[in-house]
Chains A and B, each alone.
Chain A
């Protein structure tokens, strides 16, 4: 392993862990406000909500990218500047983002749904700073994913990287599932960042013309969710790509091969993910009806290929294996299971008839926190743990594995459970205080505060241990 790959990955992971702790603290404070333990007021609540959402989406996206970069450099030569450039942009972007929210008080939510940002009260330069932050992040991440796509294309053609020859049963270079999934995900990442580019351009135009030009809210909402939904989906797949590479080895089994069904399922995923976002517009009656049906069908099919194949592969890998259950393999295995549970929650919500009831209730944060907090985060933490085992001088204490894992699972499950129950009881999302009609929300928020604190403690221990074992390598 060359030192650049090692050090840059280490730096990415340390940064991710630190920002994660900050973002959890923001989330915990929101829950405390909803539990009526603190009294920070609505403006501060929405400032935290905006920061929390974007930090979380961003941080786990770059964690996935760092994992991809690390494994990918075992296959092909990946230019270093992509990662360095993305790192600088990410740090800078996060700083500007925090200035825009914490200082300039921008608070229109992480996907800043048009035209809300233009009406936000109590913030002067918030919107402009927020747009600048997004621009910096977008440029950095777009370049990074293009650099990696180009690296893959140096070794494989587009058709090969998409494993079309495996699907057709023709000859050609063996393309591992890792390459296939990375390629598919990076394409999706590029598309959704480009959607953000179009969106931002329209925002800038309106901003600069000071109301002289306005945009169609329907178009803006389509672009927003093309960006937001797709990004959140793809970042999970980035984690999966690494899982396909590492998990079989952890179980002492042969590497996964790209069979025809793996090929088909990820090619299908590539297309389906780009259309599933329509389910965010079910309540937008102006959206062409055909889009609603496409959204419904694609949302049903979205999880099928990727999830079914992955769950099947993971289960057969574990079955009759010599798996030595390390923190990494535990996190991978349970991450896949929680991902599946969150997926079911998501599909329930994406059924149009159910969406009439569940729309904008806490069911929504319930399902996406399940496959993020307990799915995607677990995938990236599994990679992080595996990485620490590879490069760290010291081993993790077995007792600590149990403590960390239990805190994350118990805390995480309890935390999302409070959201699910809230959703079932029609507690609305994105509300800082609950009135008497949904006073159950307050009790549930208290439960969530306890559980999220457990999760936070688990992450603090994890981060300290990771730093203790690996941080020295940064300066070696």
Chain B
């Protein structure tokens, strides 16, 4: 019973779909910056990796604390400013660089670091980019309902990391290691149709658990032992039958 529940819980876990986006190319859409000219997104990621987040400044919800959190995390790192590009992109066409800069807590007296850029996504490109990044948004009157995303984009325009919501310490670490070109291992979250999986990911706790797929490794050895025992038994039984069938049984003969 206990085992059944444990097994069931393995299968009912929800898989986050972060893996599905990895290594996919993002569209090189034009965006508007402070200079109000349209510039392709690749102008930021083509030279160095780009950390990208999407937000809008009128947001009554998570955007402000989200961007502030990113700012603080980046400030705490000792990674040089010229190693990566930080882009805060708004999907609200009423935004501009100043409003976004304010959202991140910067002002004239406290300007953002040189590798920060604030830009606005034109309405025409919104669908395309949102689809490729997995940004879900819905207009609610004047405001937007949306998820918060943090992405790391390679110089080839591929998504290297994608985090929904606030990154955990682990996720920050992976992101920074990727920027400094350290090896960042990724074990892909396997879909539900993989019943042989060795591990299951538990999104609630963010941990991995061993799954029974790992047990399949034991089959060959266990089967071999069984086969040996069966062979021996068959041969023994066959041999005793033979002896039983051969006639003269000496012990009965009086000597």
Contact = CB atoms under 8 A, between A and B. Distances in A.
Contacts of A153: 228, 231-232, 235
B207 to A, nearest CB: 13
A157 interface: yes
Interface string B220-232: 1101100111011
A190 B198 contact: no
B214 A214 contact: no
A215 B190 CA distance: 9
Interface string B12-41: 000000000000000000000000000000
Contact of A146 (B190, B194, B214, B227): B227
A197 B195 CA distance: 18
Contacts of A219: 196-198, 213-214, 216-217
A150 B193 contact: no
A286 B185 contact: yes
Residues of B in contact with A, size category:
20 to 34
B196 A274 contact: no
B220 A191 contact: yes
Interface string B109-123: 000000000000000
Interface in B74-107: none
Interface in A197-222: 197-198, 202, 212-216, 218-219, 222
A285 B210 CA distance: 14
A149 B196 contact: no
A102 B223 CA distance: 35
A110 B195 CA distance: 26
Contacts of A149: 228, 231
Interface residues of A, number: 30
Nearest to A223: B217
Contacts, number: 78
Most buried by A among B194, B197, B210, B228: B228
Contact of B220 (A157, A198, A202, A214): A198
A187 B187 contact: no
B203 interface: no
Interface string A149-177: 11001100110000000000000000000
B235 A154 contact: yes
A203 B146 CA distance: 41
A187 B221 CA distance: 9
B231 A194 contact: no
Contacts of A197: 220
B1 interface: no
Nearest to A288: B210
A195 interface: yes
A379 interface: no
B219 interface: yes
A195 B217 CA distance: 8
A232 B94 CA distance: 68
Contacts of A215: 194, 196
B47 to A, nearest CB: 24
B216 A198 contact: yes
A216 B221 contact: no
B191 interface: yes
A195 B214 contact: no
A347 interface: no
Interface in A347-365: none
Most buried by A among B221, B229, B239: B221
Nearest to A196: B220
Interface in B175-200: 185, 187, 190-191, 193-199
B199 to A, nearest CB: 7
Nearest to A215: B196
A196 B221 CA distance: 12
Contacts of A194: 219-220, 223-224
A286 B185 CA distance: 8
Nearest to B208: A286
Contacts of B214: 219, 288
Contact of A216 (B196, B219, B224, B227): B196
Contacts of A133: none
A226 interface: yes
Contacts of B232: 153, 157-158
B233 to A, nearest CB: 10
Contacts of B199: 218, 286
B213 A198 contact: no
B188 to A, nearest CB: 8
Given A190-B224, A226-B220, A285 B196 contact: no
Contacts of B239: 154
Given A216-B196, A285-B185, A146 B220 contact: no
A212 B231 contact: no
A223 B193 contact: no
A195 B218 CA distance: 9
B220 A213 contact: no
Interface string A181-195: 000000100111011
Nearest to B187: A286
A212 B194 CA distance: 10
Given A153-B232, A223-B217, A190 B193 contact: no
Nearest to B234: A150
B34 to A, nearest CB: 43
A213 B187 contact: no
Contacts of A195: 219-220
Q: Which 3 residue pairs spanning A and B have beta carbons closest together?
A: A286-B187, A194-B220, A195-B220
Given A218-B198, A219-B217, 17 more contacts: A146-B227, A149-B228, A149-B231, A187-B224, A190-B224, A191-B223, A198-B216, A214-B193, A215-B196, A216-B194, A216-B197, A219-B196, A223-B216, A226-B220, A285-B187, A286-B185, A286-B198
13 contacts: A146-B231, A153-B228, A158-B228, A191-B223, A191-B224, A194-B223, A197-B220, A213-B195, A216-B190, A218-B187, A223-B217, A226-B217, A286-B199
